[in-house]
Amino acid sequence: MSASYYTIFGWFGKWDFVHGFPLNGGNGAPHDIADLAQDARNHPQVGTESTFDDPTPASGDVNDITGNSTFGLPSGTNYTYSITVTGTGNGTFDFRDPGASSNTVFFTNSYYRLKIGNPATIQRYNGSTAGTTYTATGGGAGTYTLQLIGPDIYLKNSAGTTILHVNDGGPQSGLRLRVIPSNVQVWSFTGTVN
């Protein structure tokens, strides 16, 4: 079952209770939703970028990602991701994307790309231009912690050992995540507000 809804650009919508019913002749069951909300107002307080996505940092998780996927999960200056990767390859995890000034375009301004290969790397992007690549002392399939503390980015292995530290003055908040596994990788992550 699915429920489709929208809020007009620049507005905030809240439904106290929604009772839906199938449109295909009665096949299926009714669908009840409580406290459905969507915030499409302008939020200029996210760094220097204006956006129509709610910038409030939020915790969230996604499991078993096997294809290119983008998620709206706002992160603040202090945020932690736990990332698990199975399989070999060079899949990527793009984070700290504050959005572009058009309010509707993402991954065109400045962001970071974590690549879980062997070794793992973090690369800074300015728009579509790849910048400096920082190389970790380990990598490959496994569980990692990506800890964001102010301008500092720490990549830690499953033992909690820091295998990469980056501080190059890039963006310190983000509104989107983009995961692109290699064709034999499966990714999962949990994001936590610190």
Q: What is the CATH number of the domain that holds 79?
A: 2.60.120.200
Q: Are 17 and 81 found together in one domain?
A: no
For residues 70-81, give the mean pLDDT.
90
Residues 88-119 have pLDDT tens digits of 889 999 999 887 655 557 888 889 999 999 99
Q: Are 85 and 14 found together in one domain?
A: no
| Per-residue pLDDT, 100 | 61
| Per-residue pLDDT, 52 | 58
Q: Are 113 and 178 found together in one domain?
A: yes
pLDDT score of 186 more than 90: yes
pLDDT score of 140 more than 90: yes
| Per-residue pLDDT, 131 | 94
Q: Are 120 and 91 found together in one domain?
A: yes
Evaluate whether residue 52 is within a structural domain: no
Cα–Cα–Cα angle for 64, 95, 165, nearest 5°?
105
Evaluate whether residue 15 is within a structural domain: yes
Tokens of 160: 């909690």
Domain that holds residue 36: 1-41
Concatenating the DSSP letter of every residue in 45-90 gives TBTTB--SS--S---EEEEEE-S-EEEEEEE-SEEEEEEEEESSS-
Domain count, the chain: 2
